Amino acid sequence: MKRRDRDLEFLNEIGTLRFIKRSWIQFLRSDVASISEHMFRMAWIALVIAKHEKVKDTGKILKMVLVHDITESRTGDPHYVSRQYVKIDEELAIDDMLEGTALKDEFMALWKEYEERKSIESKIVKDADNLDVDMELRDYAGRDKQLYTKWRPTRTAVYKRLFTKTAKRLWKEIHTSNPHDWHINGRNRLVAGDWSTKKQK
């Protein structure tokens, strides 16, 4: 098989990640982010953490975000219960996915670095991975406060495993903030538009 064909196959497979929902749909019983959606916000979280931690190689961080969960195209997204019963060969999955592509050497190395969790970049990416879960759970708190309350101890345990000071600060802010503040407090019709009481005077 020609290399260019494997590149295209890989890109088509990556496109299917938008159809794979995060596994905790089984618990939330509601619409949850796809793997692609998860990685999109996670990338921005990682950039924020990197900026505050004064880590400059954001290109490496973004590439690591892109590769960190792509094996779930083949393995699915196992959750904290299913992981007790199944053995997943992620290394085989990533090796097969990247085999014959122009990206294999670079992204295989980045994936392994992420899994080892020794470099500051890999720690930032893992922190971003965890914080996106907290942000999504906080989104659902408005719909099901009881579920959020029950999951809080689990997420508190995750807080203790965060690597960076910035991630720990953000975690606390996530759980005490309102996910709607961005549009309620920002520029909108009520604050600055035709609904503004200031303009009606």
Residue 172, domain CATH: 1.10.3210.10
* 165 belongs to a structural domain: yes
**Greater confidence, 201 or 195?**
195
- 201 contact partners, CB below 8 Å, separation of at least 6: none
In a domain, 46, yes or no: yes
Task: Determine, yes or no, domain membership for 30.
Answer: yes
Number of domains in the chain: 1
For residue 150, pLDDT beyond 90: no
Q: What is the predicted pLDDT for the residue at 166?
A: 99
Instruction: Flag whether 157 is in a domain.
Output: yes
Residue 79 lies in a domain: yes
State which amino acid sits at residue 41.
R
pLDDT tens, 60-77?
Answer: 999 999 999 999 999 988
> Token match 């980045």: residue?
110
Model confidence at 3, pLDDT cuts 50, 70, 90, reads low
- 164 pLDDT exceeds 80? yes
Q: Is residue 194 part of a domain?
A: no
**Residue 37 near residue 18 (C-beta atoms within 8 A):** yes
Whether 200 is covered by a domain: the verdict is no
The answer to whether 164 touches 48, Cβ cutoff 8 Å, is no
Better pLDDT: 189 or 124: 124
* Residue 100 reports pLDDT greater than 90: yes
Residue 197 resides in a domain: no
What integer is the mean pLDDT of 6-15?
96
Residue-level pLDDT at 26: 72
Instruction: Give residue 201's pLDDT.
Output: 52
Rounded percentage of the chain residues whose pLDDT exceeds 90 = 64
- The parent domain of residue 144 ranges over 3-181
